A and B are shown apart, each in its own frame.
Chain A
Amino acid sequence: MEQGHTLTLAAFGSHLLVGLSRAMILFIVSSGLSFVLGVLRVPNVAHGSLYMIGAFAAYAVFTAVGGGSTGFWLALIAAPLVVAAVSFGAERSLFCRLYEREHLMLLLFTFALMLILDDLVKIIWGAEYRSIMAPDYLKGSIIVFGSSFPRYNLFLLAAGPVVAVALWLFTNKTKIGKIARAAAVDREMVGAVGINVSWVFAFAFVLGCFLAGLGGALVAPTVSITLGMDHDIIIEAFLIVTIGGLGNIWGAMVGSLIFGITQSFGVLLWPQFAIVFPYAAVVIVLLMRPTGLLKSVW
């Protein structure tokens, strides 16, 4: 794909931008994972499936409305809400009954959820490739650093920080956000002061899954929406959260940047083994700082 690129400044710049915009998607998804991990202390294996559902739901909304600019924005708003609703149902019906149980059981439950959701997606949407289109003003390319750069990626570059700031404001400035952070540090104490911890967990879980859905909806115009798109993202999100520091939102940002940029430079330097670069970066980070770059919340 990227053959013919020489190591010019232009190629360097455009790969940096591609890497950055990829990092934004990774950040949105992994911050959700990190939030759930921080508050509930459960690695949500179904997170990738929820991301995939986000993309498929975006497709469904987009085609139902009839495409176009309205369709795109509506899909962007509705798809994460669909995902949030799905996760809320799963959480309140089954997951919330497991909070007192052994930790591995919670992990196992999310795996079961992943298996079920993946097959449900297969039943509802089938195995074909789907795609949606960004509105005209987000299509096409502009010239940056002397090489063309898709406008949609610029949109992603803006969306990432917006989500980061919104999430930060939410967890630091609102009451429910503060309670969630407190529950991450000391859940017994939060329960002791009369707060219903189970609902705090529900809230954190749904918010995390909402972010997965948002990531899926945002990525939808740039990829073919298909089964199996969850498998890569979930492992990447896990690694990002680990190198960033479990439960730390800014850690997720740092991790995403490292992952996204090494990935795109891998493509530039050695296309065949591009996939190896980010994993190697993760290994190096973990060998130097085994508990992640930033402070874990617990």
Chain B
Amino acid sequence: MGRWNRKTLLLCTALFVVLLLLPAILPRFYTYILASIFVTSLLAMSLNLVVGHGGLYQFHHCAFYGVSAYTVALLITKAHVPYWIAFGAGPLAAALVGFLIGWFCVRLSKLYFGMLQISLGSLIWALAFRWYSLTGGDDGIHGISMPDLISSTKNSYYFVLIVLTISLILMYIILKSPFGTTLQATRDNPERCEAVGINVRRHQLAALIISTFFAGVAGILYVVVEQSVFPDLLFWVFSLEIFIMCLLGGWFTFAGPIIGAAIMVSLRTFVGVYTEYWTLVLGVLLILLIFFLPEGVMGFVLDKFGTSATHRETGGSH
């Protein structure tokens, strides 16, 4: 186990260094695509905190991502506050909304949880979509200026990479902490947890707030990379796409969602070049995945080559 950990650590460090060096040789477009993958990865990772590790049906995750992105965009374009304050406000707004929505949602079980969240999230979407004077409605907000330090494609790439790395480390620590392991216990056997005196709902709510906070961080990164926001960020279809990234990559593994996000963003970018029917390709791929790789890509790889550390009871199959 110890050796495996050291190997993983080494591998991750090597990967990080390679990623740091990549923009020097990659064309600008690919740097941008990689940055998009990082942003989406962080979003998927934050979702997986509650879905994979917490067993909650978080059906409208991108609402929090969008709240943060809109907060940042509005604070910069309308209120002209300093950038770093706007960046700080984004995740806090997301976590606050996460707390408010979560406070109601965690009382409900599985499907009702997801449904209530979809309705509350759709309310936010409807506001962003309709409040023309504030949010620009359908058109969104474009040309959000960024501080000089991170305004170029290359620099925004570095910024995103560093923030992603820090966030991943934090998430890893959280998951390995007593809180994280308790959370996973509440996923696998909530009744037992209640019986031994764990407040399941409070753990779920805390996980939700943490998860929405990181979704908010991803929201900032989105604004940094795209320098625009639009209501589709908050649309429920996008939430399902993120959900799929988690399942695709392997939702019972730590890094699975990153793989899922990379596959989805690449598919959209590169299949989208050849055909306008990229969702058809995605749909077929998804069906293949459901039938042949139910544990996701990462789950499959770990099963074949890795440790048995990811073994688990099938949570939520009732």
Contact = CB atoms under 8 A, between A and B. Distances in A.
B104 A239 contact: no
Contacts, number: 112
A2 to B, nearest CB: 15
Contacts of B108: 290-291
Given A101-B294, A272-B130, A276-B130, A235 B236 contact: yes
Contact of A108 (B115, B127, B286): B286
Contact of A275 (B126, B276, B290, B317): B126
B120 interface: yes
Interface string A259-298: 0000000000000110110011011001100110000000
B221 to A, nearest CB: 26
Interface in B230-248: 235-237, 240, 244, 247
Interface string A67-106: 0000000000000000000000000001001100111110
Contact of B123 (A43, A112, A283, A290): A283
A283 B119 contact: yes
B132 A272 contact: yes
B317 A279 contact: no
B74 to A, nearest CB: 18
Interface in B269-311: 276-277, 279-280, 282-284, 286-287, 290-291, 294
Contacts of A226: none
A51 interface: no
Given A283-B123, A286-B116, A111 B104 contact: no
B294 A239 contact: no
A196 to B, nearest CB: 22
B316 A115 contact: no
Contact of A115 (B114, B119, B130, B286): B286
Contacts of B244: 108, 111
A109 interface: yes
B112 interface: yes
Interface string A12-50: 000000000000000000000000000001010100000
A116 B317 contact: no
Chain A interface size, as a band, is: 35 or more
Contacts of A113: 283
A287 B120 CA distance: 11
B247 to A, nearest CB: 6
Interface string B114-140: 111011101100110111100000000
A242 interface: yes
A111 B240 contact: yes
Contact of B294 (A105, A123, A231, A283): A105
A104 B130 contact: no
B145 to A, nearest CB: 29
A275 B314 CA distance: 40
B21 interface: no
A238 B115 CA distance: 7
A122 B317 contact: no
Interface in B2-61: none
Nearest to A276: B126
A275 B130 contact: yes
A120 B283 CA distance: 11
A101 B286 CA distance: 15
Ordered nearest first, which 7 A-B pairs have the shortest CB separation?
A: A115-B283, A119-B280, A116-B283, A112-B286, A242-B115, A279-B123, A115-B279
Interface of A: 41, 43, 45, 94, 97-98, 101-105, 108-109, 111-116, 118-120, 122-123, 231, 235, 238-239, 241-242, 246, 272-273, 275-276, 279-280, 282-283, 286-287, 290-291
